[in-house]
């Protein structure tokens, strides 16, 4: 029984700047109803139930619903407690008719920042693992609690929206706070050392939260989420020399220190030389992802590792990173960074992007309101 709770209501949605627990269940949905009122009713219900779930209040097996006496709750979370559950809801470009999908009567239309992502060099996207009109990110300290939330939300959506795709994750792949030691990704490297820190209000306001004037007012204090399913091609990576791995990343594998430095948190010096050559090679991941090469742009990374069934014939493990980032404007932040990485990053040869999505995550609400209410004003 894990009684830890994170408030659902607040200025911002939970699951962005709140501490990152170990497990993820992520889902997107396609809206099937043409009635805007039905979508509003679903968001109202998701909000009320989302709050209840994060308090651990929805394990009432005996409470019967409207479906012929079926239990109101499927029950697998009973006795487990809230387990640090957070729910984060977002809207995809397709909800606004940009790429098909739900044609809404929303005031104002699609925010500019919510444009569909462009194609990137070398990606191999599976349409069945990409996009969606709505997304729900459930994070918890117990995978059964995260699953339960998506299970409940899927059932509530019946008749209004259908499940499109899901993704599970485990193990933080970024440190979002100095309070958390930097975890290792499935390539064996510490990942996320140089992340935006959620406790730094200036950084959050500069890089993550949508500010007045950025676009439609219903997104103020919200943020934009980019997700990428990134398979790690581990067989070739595992056969790469330690030096080759470190030069591709730009950090030492054991310590996490930038090449040419001693400690994980030593500053990344892109000019430093060793034996007359750049200590951090020209095509190293941390150089190309560096704010210095990206006009000072940074993003808040909050991803998870994944491991999934590898089926006979594949011949290698299917494992990698479910990358999640939050930013004020993907067009100015994620897109140019990823374009540079896809074209030149030495690490990219060991990665395959197989799924993708971009979503507008509206601000948080107070009790009585509902996530996305500004859309219906």
Binding interface with a second copy (CB under 8 A): 25, 30, 61-62, 64, 67-71, 73-76, 78-79, 126-129, 142-144, 147, 150-151, 154-155, 162-168, 170-171, 181, 184-189, 234, 237-245, 253-254, 305, 307-319
Shorter beta-carbon distance to a second copy: residue 40 or 155:
155
Q: How far is the CB of 168 from a second copy (least distance, A)?
A: 6
- Here the tokens at position 370 are 């509902």
Shorter beta-carbon distance to a second copy: residue 303 or 363:
303
Q: How far is the CB of 72 from a second copy (least distance, A)?
A: 10
C-beta separation of 156 from 54 below 8 A: no
Q: How far is the CB of 307 from a second copy (least distance, A)?
A: 5
Q: For residues 352 and 348, give the distance between their C-alpha atoms in angstroms, rounded to a whole number.
A: 7
Q: For residues 338 and 147, give the distance between their C-alpha atoms in angstroms, rounded to a whole number.
A: 30
Q: How far is the CB of 342 from a second copy (least distance, A)?
A: 23
Going from the C-alpha of 291 to that of each of 93, 207, 264, 270, 287, the distances in angstroms are 27, 11, 17, 11, 9
Q: How far is the CB of 32 from a second copy (least distance, A)?
A: 11
- Here the tokens at position 36 are 């805007």
Shorter beta-carbon distance to a second copy: residue 12 or 164:
164
Shorter beta-carbon distance to a second copy: residue 21 or 171:
171
Our separate counts of H helices and E strands in the chain read 7, 11
Q: For residues 259 and 252, give the distance between their C-alpha atoms in angstroms, rounded to a whole number.
A: 6
Q: How far is the CB of 358 from a second copy (least distance, A)?
A: 16
- Nearest-10 Cα torsion for 267, 268, 274, 276: -130
Q: How far is the CB of 278 from a second copy (least distance, A)?
A: 21
Q: How far is the CB of 257 from a second copy (least distance, A)?
A: 13
Q: How far is the CB of 206 from a second copy (least distance, A)?
A: 32
Residues 6+ apart with CB under 8 A from 74: 148, 151, 152, 155
3-state class of 208 per DSSP?
coil
Q: For residues 193 and 256, give the distance between their C-alpha atoms in angstroms, rounded to a whole number.
A: 8
Radius of gyration for the alpha carbons in the chain, expressed in angstroms and rounded:
21
Shorter beta-carbon distance to a second copy: residue 114 or 186:
186
Nearest to 332 by CA among 370, 306, 368, 296: 296
Shorter beta-carbon distance to a second copy: residue 79 or 202:
79
Shorter beta-carbon distance to a second copy: residue 27 or 375:
27
C-beta separation of 250 from 345 below 8 A: no
Residue 94: φ, ψ to 5°: -65, -20
Shorter beta-carbon distance to a second copy: residue 181 or 267:
181
First and final CA of the chain: distance in angstroms?
41
C-beta separation of 85 from 149 below 8 A: yes
Shorter beta-carbon distance to a second copy: residue 138 or 208:
138
């Amino acid at each position: 029984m894990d009684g830890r709770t994170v408030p659902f209501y607040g200025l911002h949605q939970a699951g962005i700047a709140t501490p990152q627990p170990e497990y993820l269940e992520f889902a997107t949905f396609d809206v099937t109803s043409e009635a805007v009122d039905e979508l509003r009713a679903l968001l109202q219900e998701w909000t009320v139930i989302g709050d209840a779930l994060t308090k651990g209040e929805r394990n009432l097996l005996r409470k019967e619903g409207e479906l012929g006496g079926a239990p109101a709750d499927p029950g697998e979370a009973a006795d487990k407690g809230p387990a640090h559950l957070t729910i984060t809801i977002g809207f995809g470009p397709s909800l606004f008719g940009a790429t098909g999908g739900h044609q809404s009567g929303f005031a104002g239309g699609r925010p500019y920042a919510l444009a569909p992502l462009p194609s990137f060099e070398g990606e191999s996207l599976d349409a069945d693992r990409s996009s969606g009109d709505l997304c729900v990110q459930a994070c918890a300290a117990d995978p059964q609690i995260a699953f339960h939330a998506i299970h409940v939300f899927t059932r509530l959506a019946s008749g209004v929206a259908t499940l499109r795709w899901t993704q599970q994750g485990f193990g933080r792949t970024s440190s979002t706070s100095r309070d958390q030691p930097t975890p290792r990704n499935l390539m064996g490297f510490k990942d996320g050392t140089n992340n935006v820190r959620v406790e730094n209000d200036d950084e959050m306001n500069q890089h993550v939260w949508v500010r007045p004037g950025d676009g439609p007012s219903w997104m103020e204090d919200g943020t934009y989420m980019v997700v990428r399913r990134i398979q790690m091609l581990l067989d070739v990576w595992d056969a790469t020399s330690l030096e080759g791995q470190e030069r591709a990343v730009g950090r030492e594998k054991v310590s996490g220190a930038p090449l040419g430095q001693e400690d994980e948190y030593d500053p990344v010096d892109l000019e430093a030389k060793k034996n007359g050559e750049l200590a951090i090679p020209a095509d190293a991941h941390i150089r190309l992802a560096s704010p210095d090469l990206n006009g000072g742009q940074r993003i808040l990374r909050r991803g998870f590792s994944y491991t999934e069934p590898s089926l006979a014939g594949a011949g290698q493990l299917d494992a990698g990173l479910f990358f999640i980032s939050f930013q004020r404007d993907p067009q100015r932040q994620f897109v140019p960074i990823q374009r540079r990485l896809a074209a030149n990053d030495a690490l990219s040869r060991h990665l395959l992007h197989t799924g993708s999505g971009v979503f507008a995550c509206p601000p948080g609400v107070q009790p009585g309101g509902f996530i996305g209410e500004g859309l219906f004003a």
